[in-house]
Amino acid sequence: MNRTVWYPGHMARGGRKLGEMAEKLDLFIEVRDARAPFSTSSPLLPSLSRVRPTLLVLSKKDLADPERTRVWMADFARRKEPVWALDLRKDSLDPLRRELSRLRPPHRELRLGVVGIPNVGKSMFLNRLVGKARARVGGVPGITREVGWYRGSGFLAVDSPGILDPHSEPGVHRVLSWLGCAKAEVVGGCEAAAVELIAFLRARGLWDAVADTWGLGELAENGPCGDAGSCETAGAEAVLEQVGRRLGCLAAGGSVNREVAARRLVESFAAGKLGPVTLELPGDPLNPARKDSP
Ligand SMILES: Nc1nc2c(ncn2[C@@H]2O[C@H](COP(=O)(O)OP(=O)(O)OP(=O)(O)O)[C@@H](O)[C@H]2O)c(=O)[nH]1
Ligand SMILES: [Mg+2]
């Protein structure tokens, strides 16, 4: 498959800028998506956390499976990594604010940098922390293009553009395309992303809940296939057809417009409209995304 990696110039610029300003900051807050805490980790973190301490925010808690979020929180606690799982639209930030006041240097305000990959909620987090909707927020990756300073009570915070690693392995890009953190082009387009998403959810026993949301009912029999991998893909393609029919994504002549169906599926999944799903677990042996699973 032809995999084009989406890595616009503002990401390289933002990464350089953050590296240059790291020593002027007191700490970093990294935002990751609670639905995939491995795959949504920032590629900048290894270098930034060598210079300054890092706190972790798991955003979109409302879109994640609550039981799996508890497992993640216990895992971070076991590794003594400070973490807050939040629905950034409405959860209180007071416990995190208390930690920031504790870390504030004497005689001056705390300087913090908010970092992470695209579309995880960095700007929304910053707005909540500052207490005003100052930074632009949006549901597609690449909204924030430049590093920018914001003043809050007792702190100065830097919002930064979401930065991806163009060299991440395909498993990571795949998860990021499903969560809206990278454009579907990174995995060869929307149709490929949708088929891989269906196959992944079915292999993990997560598809039924998603199917129920759209009233998809029993699956049609899979067509003939060779090995297990191609059978999985053939099955997923049949499911995509079914999704297209159910949603009325039809082309002239009544055939399913697979591209439109795929886009609807992936966008709905990313926005959490298909129910709470967490894609990864700590130490998950099936997790294809990261080699550094604890
Ligand atoms: N449901 C839900 N949506 C959230 C949460 N946090 C952020 N969002 C949504 O996620 C999308 C991305 O938010 P942003 O704050 O723009 O993300 P960002 O990380 O700044 O993205 P870039 O600037 O593109 O790197 C927006 O549609 C937000 O409304 C959350 O906790 N729950
Ligand atoms: Mg932003």
What tens digit of pLDDT does each residue of 154-165 get? 999 999 999 998
| Overall average pLDDT of the 31-38 stretch | 97
Q: pLDDT: is 235 or 285 the higher one? A: 235
152 plus 230 within the same structural domain: no
Do 55 and 150 share a domain, yes or no? yes
In a domain, 3, yes or no: no
- Of 159, 181, 198, the position where a domain reaches its end is 159
Q: How confident is the model at residue 269 (pLDDT cuts 50, 70, 90)?
A: very high
Question: Would the CB of 124 count as within 6 Å of ligand 1?
Answer: yes
Number of structural domains found in the chain: 2
pLDDT, mean of residues 270-292: 78
Q: For residue range 62-97, list pLDDT tens digits in order.
A: 999 999 999 999 999 999 999 999 999 999 999 999
Same domain assignment for residues 211 and 137: no
Residue with CA nearest ligand 1 atom 7: 121
Structural domain including 40 reads 9-159
Nearest residue (by CA) to ligand 1, atom 14, is 121
Residue 167 belongs to some domain of the structure: no
Residues 116, 30 share a domain: yes
* Residue 175 resides in a domain: no
CA 85 / ligand 1 centre spacing (Å): 14
Same domain, 231 and 152: no
pLDDT for the residue numbered 294: 40
CATH label of the domain that carries residue 265? 1.10.1580
For atom 6 of ligand 1, the residue with the nearest CA is 121
173-189: per-residue pLDDT in tens? 999 999 999 999 888 89
Q: What are the backbone dihedrals phi and psi of residue 8, each rounded to the nearest 5 degrees, phi first?
A: -65, 160
What pLDDT is recorded for position 234?
Answer: 72
Ligand 1 mean position, distance from CA 188 (Å): 24
pLDDT digits (tens, 9 = 90+) for 112-146: 999 999 999 999 999 999 998 888 999 888 899 88
In short, whether 160's Cβ falls inside 6 Å of ligand 1 is no
- Quick check: is 279 in a domain? no
Same domain, 25 and 150: yes
Same domain, 13 and 144: yes
What percent of the chain is predicted at pLDDT more than 90? 70
CB 91 near ligand 1, within 6 Å: no
Same domain, 199 and 130: no
Indicate which atom in ligand 1 lies nearest the CA of residue 63: 1
Ligand 1 nearest-atom number relative to CA 120: 19
Whether ligand 1 lies within 6 angstroms of the CB of 137 is answered as yes
Q: Are residues 146 and 239 in the same domain?
A: no
Let me know if residue 183 belongs to a domain: no
Residue 82 inside a domain? The answer is yes
DSSP state of 250: B
Which DSSP string do the residues of 1-51 spell out, in sequence order? --------HHHHHHHHHHHHHGGG-SEEEEEEETT-TTTTS-TTHHHHHHH
202-261: pLDDT as tens digits: 999 999 888 888 887 655 444 445 455 666 677 899 999 999 999 999 998 999 999 999
Q: Which residues pair with 155 in a beta bridge?
A: 110, 152
Over residues 264-282, mean pLDDT: 94
Higher-scoring residue by pLDDT: 288, 13 = 13
Residue 222: per-residue pLDDT: 46
**CATH label of the domain that carries residue 87:** 3.40.50.300
Look at residue 132 in the predicted model and tell me its pLDDT.
Answer: 87
pLDDT confidence of residue 54: 95
Residue 212 lies in a domain: yes
- Residue 141 sits in the same domain as residue 210: no
Same domain, 74 and 200: no
**Sequence-distant (≥ 6) Cβ neighbours of residue 249 within 8 angstroms:** 243, 256, 257, 258, 260, 261, 264
Ligand 1: does its nearest atom lie under 6 Å from the Cβ of 62? yes
Residue 131 and residue 152 in contact, taking contact as beta carbons nearer than 8 Å: yes
Domain annotation covers residue 230: yes
Diameter over CA atoms, the chain: 72
Does 16 share its domain with 148? yes
Q: How many whole angstroms from 218 Cα to the centroid of ligand 2?
A: 40
Query: Does 276 contact ligand 1 (Cβ within 6 A)?
Result: no
pLDDT tens, residue by residue, 47-60: 999 999 999 999 99
Q: Which of 196, 210, 183 is nearest to 288 (CA)?
A: 196
Looking at the chain, the whole-number percentage of residues with pLDDT higher than 70 is 89
